[in-house]
Amino acid sequence: MKFTIIRSKFLEGLKSVQNIVANKGSLQILQNVLIEAKDKKLFMTTTDLDISVRSVVPCDVTESGSTTIPVRILFSTISKVTEGPVVVEIDAQDRATISAGSATFKIAGMSVHDFPPVPSGEGKLSYTLPQTTFREMLRKTSYAASQDDTRKTLKGVLMSFKGGKLTMVATDGRRLALVEQEVEFPAEAEQDIVLPSKAVAELTRSLASEGDVKITVQKSQVVFNLGITQVSSKLLDEVYPNYRQVIP
C-alpha cells in the first residue's frame, strides 16, 4: 500500500475522526485509525464500538490497500512536518514509513482484520435535511437530556419521524425540550429512535454550515452521511414513555 497526500488534507481528515478514539487501557485496536487508500481517495475510520466516524480526503494512490495506525501518534507525526506532499508506504507487516521533505518516520500498525466492522450507510429508511437545521435542532434539545447514568433511556435525544416532520425531544425527568421540522419521507418510514448523548456531541462537532445530512436507520444503528464525513452510532434500546406523551 502506498499513497501521496497533501499534509493539510491529511490533518483535516485525522482531526475529524480522532475525537472518539479510546483512551489508553482499552483495546489497542480502538486506539487506531483504519486507513484505506483506493480510487484516488483516503478513507479514515475510528470507532469506540458505540460510535464510528469516517472521513474521506483526496490523495494519489500508487498502490491500494488498508491498515490501522495509532491515530494520536499519526496525528502528532503529520503535525510536525512542513506543508506539502506526504508519502505513506505500508509494508506486509503493517509498518508505516512516512516521508515528508527530508524527514522520514516509521510507525508500527496493526492488521485491518482486528478492526471492528463499521456500518456501510446503506438502508431502506433514510431522511434528508440541511446540516445547519439539524445542528440547530440538536442544540435546542440536547441540553435537556439526562446526565444520570442510572437513567440510560433519558441520556439521549428522541428523533420521531411522524406525519411528515421530524420531532426531537430530550428530557431529564424534570425539564423537557422539543423542536419540530418538516421533512419529506414516505409513510412507511415513520418511526422513533433515541440517539445517545455521546453521538449528539460528535454530530455537533461534525455538522457543517452548508450541505445536507442523510440519515439512514439500520435496525439498532443509525448512520449520518455529512458528505466527506460519516458518523454512525448505536441506538438506545428503549424509548422513554414521557417522550411520546408530549409529541403532538
What tens digit of pLDDT does each residue of 180-203 get?
Answer: 999 999 888 999 999 999 999 999
- Which residue ranges of the chain lie beneath pLDDT 70? 24-25, 121, 238-248
For every residue of 35-84, DSSP letters joined together read EEEETTEEEEEEE-SSEEEEEEEE-EEEE-EEEEEEHHHHHHHHHHSPSS
Q: Is the Cβ–Cβ distance between 107 and 96 less than 8 Å? A: yes
Greatest pairwise CA separation for the chain in angstroms: 64
Q: 98: which residues sit within 8 A by CB, 6+ positions away? A: 77, 78, 86, 87, 88, 104, 105, 106, 107
Residue whose C-alpha cell reads 507525526 in the numeric block: 77
Q: What is the pLDDT of residue 13?
A: 95
CA dist., res. 201 & res. 213, Å (int) = 16
Distances (CA, A) of 111 to 34, 53, 91, 92, 116: 9, 19, 11, 9, 11
pLDDT digits (tens, 9 = 90+) for 106-123: 999 999 999 998 877 677
Q: What is the pLDDT of residue 238?
A: 62
Q: What is the pLDDT of residue 245?
A: 58
Q: What is the pLDDT of residue 72?
A: 94
Q: What is the pLDDT of residue 220?
A: 85
Q: Is the pTM of this model over 0.95?
A: no
